[in-house]
Amino acid sequence: MKNSYAVVTGASSGIGAEFARCLAKEGYPLILTARRRDRLEELESELKAQGTECHIITADLSQKEECYRLMEELSGRTIGVFINNAGFGDCGVFLETDVDKELDMIDVNVKAVHLLTKLVLRKMEKQDGGYLLNVASSAGLFPSGPYMATYYATKSYVASLTRAVATELKEIGSNVYIGALCPGPVDTEFNSVANVEFALPGITPEYCAAYAIKQMKRRKVIIVPTLTMKMATVGGRIIPLAASARITGHQQKKKLTKNS
């Protein structure tokens, strides 16, 4: 699929920007989208200076119409890789957190991911190939996440959807890949947007993106960087649900204390 484009949503910073850099090194021409045009233009200039073909599309994917507009702009191109990365989080007591921010989170983390997954997979199926990687979180592999309740729920949706669709594609013998990246803490702007300071040390976005692409090529469905998070997510599934919620909530509550 090297004669095709790689598309990255939420490409203006963090993991999204690093995915763009990694895929540029792989030789893909790029199409990058995010809300912040100035950030996209900076990254576009950087990549073009290195000889990469790069196009930017400013879009607010919380709006369904913008998702359709993005796909319309991609209609004439073959898409080899699609990184469904746009998303954000929030931390706090559910009774007190901002409901508008939470509903926006659901629009971006769930509705946009769902819609783009469906539209991109249909396009790739017609192409008879392609890689679609949904950026979820290790949060999506735990039963629940007190004090980040909405965020955990949105990422659980992404992980569940991805697993189910991967099974369907395998059963029909499709050449299209779908997977979900489920990292633990990553040192990006996510932390400030979500009002958190992680209790565990974070990995770099450079390592996260490079590891994800490597595992994507191996067609791994659920991708969890670092042994620590792999062990934590397994533990979260095998202990009783109530105990898992208490342990997870204890870790999240530390973030509230640090930011109070």
Residues with a known catalytic role: 151
Q: What's the pLDDT band for 46 if we cut at 50, 70, 90? A: very high
Q: What is the per-residue DSSP string for 222-233?
A: EE--SHHHHHHH
Nearest to 55 by CA among 101, 20, 89: 20
Name the 3-class secondary structure at 148.
Answer: coil
Q: How far apart are CA 160 and CA 231, in angstroms?
A: 19
Q: Average the pLDDT over 122-139 and give the result.
A: 96
Q: What is the pLDDT of residues 90-110, one digit of tens each?
A: 989 999 999 999 999 999 999
Residue 162 CA to its chain's centroid (Å) = 12
- pTM value is 0.86
Q: What type of residue is 175? A: N
> Residues 6 or more apart from 114 whose CB is under 8 A from it?
157, 161
Q: What is the pLDDT of residues 105-124, one digit of tens each?
A: 999 999 999 999 999 999 99
For 134, counting Cβ atoms within 10 Å of its Cβ (0-12 exposed, 13-18 middle, 19+ buried), the class is: buried
